[in-house]
Amino acid sequence: MTDSPQLRPARPDDAEAIAAIWYEGWRDAHLGNVPDELIAVRPQESFAPRATQRIADTTVAIIDNEVAGFIMVLDDEIDQVYLSRRHRGTGTAPALLAAAEQRISGSGQPRAWLAVVPGNARARAFYTRNGWTDEGLFTHQAPGPDGPVPVPAHRYVKQLAGLPED
């Protein structure tokens, strides 16, 4: 493996790899940690169309000519951060998180936020190590095919460098 990932905007031909990483990572992070209603609306076949729809919002990390992970940004929210199991712990996640923060600050937003389910201790520790602050529990409205699905989550925030807060 190379020492550092190459980051670039996602392309349509990345959608299949993004969907596979997203499904695997989503299950690792969410099974047993989210309401059954959300699990019911996240079958494996739902990830490919969602990945395709979100290509413009996505940055991928490429290692050894393959997609190793990705981030999705929506306005001031880091909406998704996932790595393949094989690339966890390689330093790729901090690089992707920094790219998401830069994308948000580049759009003029002074703060970024993201949602993490309470039982995802690995992600919560990762965000804390990377300068994010847990503002506490809230009800995240996860997108579903028939409308939002309420999910208990922690809201993490970060003041972005060089931009004053509102």
56 located within any domain: yes
Residue 162 has a pLDDT of 64
20 located within any domain: yes
The answer to whether the beta carbons of residues 43 and 78 sit under 8 Å apart is no
Distance from C-alpha of 42 to C-alpha of 26, rounded to nearest angstrom: 9
Residue 89 has a pLDDT of 86
165 located within any domain: no
Please give the distance of CA 110 from its chain centroid, rounded to a whole number.
19
Residue pLDDT tens, the chain, 166 long: 445 899 999 999 999 999 999 999 999 999 999 999 999 999 999 999 999 999 999 999 999 999 999 999 999 999 999 999 999 888 899 999 999 999 999 999 999 999 999 999 999 999 999 999 999 999 999 998 899 999 999 999 999 976 555 5
The answer to whether the beta carbons of residues 135 and 114 sit under 8 Å apart is no
33 located within any domain: yes
Residue 101 has a pLDDT of 96
User: Looking only at Cα atoms, what is the longest distance across the chain?
Assistant: 43
80 located within any domain: yes
Torsion of CA 89, 90, 94, 97, to 10 degrees: -90
Question: Which two tokens mark 65?
Answer: 């000519």
Per-residue pLDDT of 90-115, as tens digits, reads 889 999 999 999 999 999 999 999 99
* Measured CA angle at 75 (ends 71, 79), to 5 deg: 35
Distance from C-alpha of 37 to C-alpha of 7, rounded to nearest angstrom: 34
91 located within any domain: yes
Residue 120 has a pLDDT of 94
Question: Which residues span the domain enclosing 61?
Answer: 6-159
Residue 20, judged by CB atoms within 10 A of its CB (0-12, 13-18, 19+), counts as middle
69 located within any domain: yes
The CATH number that applies at residue 140 is 3.40.630.30
Among all chains, which residue has been given the structure tokens 């079958």?
43
Domain count, the chain: 1
Residue 165 has a pLDDT of 57
Residue 2 has a pLDDT of 46
166 located within any domain: no
Q: Give the H/E segment covering residue 79.
A: strand 77-83
Among all chains, which residue has been given the structure tokens 């670039």?
8
Distance from C-alpha of 101 to C-alpha of 109, rounded to nearest angstrom: 10
Question: Which two tokens mark 75?
Answer: 């306005």
Residue 166 has a pLDDT of 52
